[in-house]
Amino acid sequence: MADGAFYPQIDPYDTGMLAVGGPHQIYWEQSGNPKGVPVVFLHGGPGAGASPAHRRFFDPAHYRVVIFDQRGAGRSKPLGEIQDNNTPQLVADIERLRQHLKIQRWHVFGGSWGSTLAIAYAEHHADRVMSLCLRGIFLCRRSEIDWFLYGIRHFMPEAWRDFAEHIPASERHDLLRAYYKRLTDPNPEIYMPAARKWSVYEARSCTLLPSPETVEAFASDVVALGIARMEAHYFSHDIFLPDNFLLDNIGRIRQIPAVVVQGRYDLVCPPDTADDLRRAWPEAEYVIVPDAGHSAMEPGIRANLVSAMDRFRSIK
């Protein structure tokens, strides 16, 4: 689509649940052209889950669109489960799904945590990746986690105060530990209020201009629990990969066609992370959207993502 607008809403032609080990079953769906070129969508968070709007980044006449909810997220079961839930296992799930659907190679599309997972997957299975379309780069380094927990207060002091003051003053020196303790408590009267505080804090920081719709969506039980518990789990374990693993292994994917789209005013995943990726990977096309924050639904980010996937139609 020349103007970069969303494609029309479509429904899946195929859905299922895939057992991936331990207690986990992941939800998956296919939409678009059953005989088209495969593309897999990796949602953010971790834990945010996918939505019907995510099908609309892709030309449904050209692409066979595969979307799934990662372990513990969305329609996958059990919701919020952190047992057997780490980055290597998520990478293995993508491969398991590819094999289940009898796909040889596919395009990989991911934003925010989805960009983290897309890079990790590509670095482990470069021969299966036709292209990478990445947005709102997050590498899950300690500096980025600290920014999310503390740095955003310099721009969103009201949102940060609501987030921090859910925790007693004596514990606020380590918000991650304090939240993780509450989010993993077995009592829903403890974990759900904490989950909503965490998720709404992120939602309020996601868009350049206030978006009540985003905040409302993130405050729902399923999204809040998935996002808050999974993010706290992954942040507490430094992504379950060696320090700086993703940047150190860019050489494995340097040859893959790639587009990186980054909002200039992204508070959740600030542009310095995308800039670090750009410097390590100059072969990737790099697009800064001057009037956008973090959300894939920001008009400029959406337009550039759709445009990138339209251009990738030339890759067979």
Say which of 31, 76, 112, 205 is annotated catalytic.
Answer: 112
Say which of 59, 69, 93, 266 is annotated catalytic.
Answer: 266
Q: What is the pLDDT of residue 316?
A: 81
* Whether residue 1 has pLDDT greater than 80: no
Element (H, E) at 27: strand 24-32
> Based on the structure, what is the number of domains in the chain?
2
* Catalytic annotation present for 185: no
* Catalytic annotation present for 112: yes
Q: Provide the domain limits for residue 58.
A: 14-140+240-314
- Give the CA distances from residue 73 to residues 76, 78, 106, 108, 253, in Å, rounded to whole numbers and listed in that order: 6, 8, 23, 19, 28
Percent of residues, the chain, with pLDDT higher than 90: 98
Strands (E), 174-272: 258-263
Which residues is 129 bridged to in the sheet?
Answer: 106
Q: Which of 204, 239, 274 is the last residue of a domain?
A: 239
Say which of 43, 54, 233, 294 is annotated catalytic.
Answer: 294
Shared domain for 56 and 203, answered yes or no, is no
State pLDDT tens for residues 278-295: 999 999 999 999 999 999
Shared domain for 135 and 245, answered yes or no, is yes
Shared domain for 41 and 161, answered yes or no, is no
Residues in Cβ contact with 154 at an 8 Å cutoff, skipping those fewer than 6 apart: none
- Give the CA distances from residue 44 to residues 48, 138, 269, in Å, rounded to whole numbers and listed in that order: 6, 10, 12
DSSP notation for 82-127: -TT-SHHHHHHHHHHHHHHTT-S-EEEEEETHHHHHHHHHHHH-GG
Task: Give the residue-averaged pLDDT of 1-15.
Answer: 82
Q: Which of 207, 239, 271 is the last residue of a domain?
A: 239
Stated pTM of the model: 0.96
Shared domain for 208 and 308, answered yes or no, is no
* Catalytic annotation present for 31: no
Count H helices, E strands: the chain?
Answer: 11, 8
Shared domain for 39 and 119, answered yes or no, is yes
